[in-house]
Amino acid sequence: MEQNVFEQMAKRYDTEERIKLANIISTEVKPEIQDSQSKSLIDYSSGTGLVSLELADYVESILLVDSSKQMLEVAAAKIAKKGIKAYILLLSMVLLHIPDTKQILQEIYNTLTPGGKLILFDFNKNDNIHHQTVHNGFSHEELEQLLSEIGFTSINVKTFYHGKGIFMKQDASMFISSSIKCRG
């Protein structure tokens, strides 16, 4: 299967020219979103968040949506670097596709405000799945240990769904995990 072109260019997407254009666009948008501190903004097809992350101080929340997981990984790193904080962060079927699970969970931890909540949805570990670029799911114990090592507390992981052929054409089950970033 051919990889999405945006997946291939995610790491090098933020060129000087694109950053300059994004700044021009975000400057133009700012007057349009004045007095929106209690509103949310959805950046559909956000890429790495070049435009929308510049608007973070103008709205209550921003949702970045993009079909490219690598674009969103770059956006998550930029959010951490800029110090933008979130109170609730939801990851649905994303960890499966990220090679360094601990690194992304650490970046998410750094993004959350103290007392903030991480909610994860993904597949339980499935030994019938073998793929070179996708995890075969996660065991509750290993995930709880990893979240705890990073600093999350009040960790709860439970299976909530079983389905036929839902994970790479294999029968599988899914879990929901919620955890809290330490307050201090």
Q: pLDDT in tens for each of the 184 residues of the chain?
A: 445 666 777 778 888 888 998 899 889 889 888 888 888 777 877 888 898 899 999 988 888 878 788 888 888 888 878 887 777 776 777 788 888 899 989 988 988 888 888 888 899 999 988 888 889 999 999 999 999 999 999 999 999 998 888 888 889 998 999 999 987 6
Residue 2 confidence (pLDDT): 45
d(CA 122, CA 101): 12
* 3-state DSSP helix/strand/coil % of the chain, to nearest 5: 40, 30, 30
Q: Of 47, 63, 51, which is closest to residue 10 (Cα–Cα)?
A: 47
CATH for 1-84? 3.40.50.150
Q: Give the distance from CA 70 to its chain's centroid.
A: 10
Residue 38 confidence (pLDDT): 84
Spatial neighbors of 99 by CB under 8 A, at least 6 apart, are 133
Count of beta carbons in the 10 Å neighbourhood of residue 135: 17
Residue 156 confidence (pLDDT): 94
Residues of the chain with CATH 3.40.50.150: 1-84, 86-184
pTM > 0.85: yes or no: no
Q: Which CATH number fits domain 86-184: 3.40.140.10, 3.20.20.80, 3.40.1280.10, 3.40.50.150?
A: 3.40.50.150
